[in-house]
Amino acid sequence: MNKPATSPGWPQLREDDPRLHLSGAEKQAAQPAWVTRFFVDLKRKLDPEAGLDTQILHGENVFKVETVDGRAKIQARRNGYVGWVPEDALSEGERTPTHFVCVPRTFLYPGADMKLPRSGYRSLGSGVVVTDRAETRGTHYTILDSGEAVIANHLAAAGDHAADYVSVAETLLRTPYLWGGSTAFGIDCSGLVSLAMQMAGMDVLRDSDMQAATIGKPVAIRPDWSDLKRGDLVFWRGHVAIAQGEIGGEQHLLHANGHTMDVTSEPAAAAVLRIEHLYEKPIGVRRPECLGLGGQ
C-alpha cells in the first residue's frame, strides 16, 4: 500500500478509520479463513439488513475476528476492509490460489463439458486452485480442487498480471452499477478501480477517499483536460473515474456511475460539467506511479 498523501485538499487516511481498524484484542483473536462462496457481501454493521459496503471475492483470505448470531466479523487481507459477513461463507485456514479468473465472468461445470448444467459462477479476480486439465470436443478445461471444470482460457496463473489496468477496466463496460459492488456482476466507481488494479498486480484500498489519499501523486491538468494520461485517476469527493486516453479526438473517462447506472465511457469535459452541475468540481487528478505513467 502507498503512504497517505499530505497535499492540502486531498482526503487524509486516519489510522483509526473504522473501515480498516481492528483493536489490539481483535487482532490477537483473529484466525485465518477464506471465502468459499462466489463472493460475499460485507457490511460494517452486524444487522444483515444494513447497506452494502463492499464485497469479498471467492478464494480471498481474511482474518476472522468473532462470530455473533451466525455472522462473522472479518478483515480482508487484500485491502484491509473490516466488517460482517455470513459465517457460513467462510472456511477455516488459508487459501493459496494457483489461478485467478481473468475474464469478467465465467461458469463452473460439474465436469469437462460445457453442455452440462452449470454448477456455479465466478467473477473476474476470483482465486481458484487448479489440479488437472481436460479436453472435450476441442475445448480445453481446467479442473479445480472441487472437481468442477472451468474454461481454461478464462483463468490466468497466479502472478501473471495484466500489463494495463485500464484495459482490464474496459472489459467491464456496461457492468451494472451497484453501490458497494466489487465484482463483475455489479460494481461501483472505486470497486472498478480496485478490481482492475488487482488484476494488474496492485492491491489498493477500497473506497474512493482511501484511494485519493494513497494512490500515486497529484498532477496538474489543463482546464480542458487535454493532457490527461491513460491511467490517471480523476477524483471528486465520493467518486473516481479512470482516464482512458483520447478517443475520437477527445479525452475520455471510464467510470461506474449513478447517472447511467453502469460502467460507461464518456468525454472527460462533458462528464466534469455534468457532475459539477449536480454536485461539484473534481478535487484533482492523481497519477499511479507503478504504471509507468510518470507521477514523479
Q: Which DSSP symbol is given to 176? A: B
Longest dimension (CA), the chain: 61
Q: Percent of the chain scored above 90 by pLDDT? A: 93
Residue type at position 113: D
Rounded-to-integer distance, Cα 198 and Cα 227, Å: 26
* CA angle centred on 263, ends 258 and 269, rounded to 5°: 75
Rounded-to-integer distance, Cα 283 and Cα 281, Å: 6
Per-residue cell: 228: 490527461
Q: Is 165-291 in CATH node 3.90.1720.10?
A: yes
Residues 207-240 have pLDDT tens digits of: 999 999 999 999 999 999 999 999 999 999 999 9
- pTM for the predicted model, two decimal places: 0.94
Contact partners, residue 121, CB within 8 Å, separation at least 6: 38, 105, 106, 107, 108
Break the chain into its structural domains and give their ranges.
Answer: 24-92, 102-157, 165-291
Mean pLDDT of the chain: 94
CATH number (2.60.120.620, 1.20.1530.20, 2.60.40.10, 2.30.30.40) of 24-92 reads 2.30.30.40
Q: Which residue has the cell 458497494?
A: 180
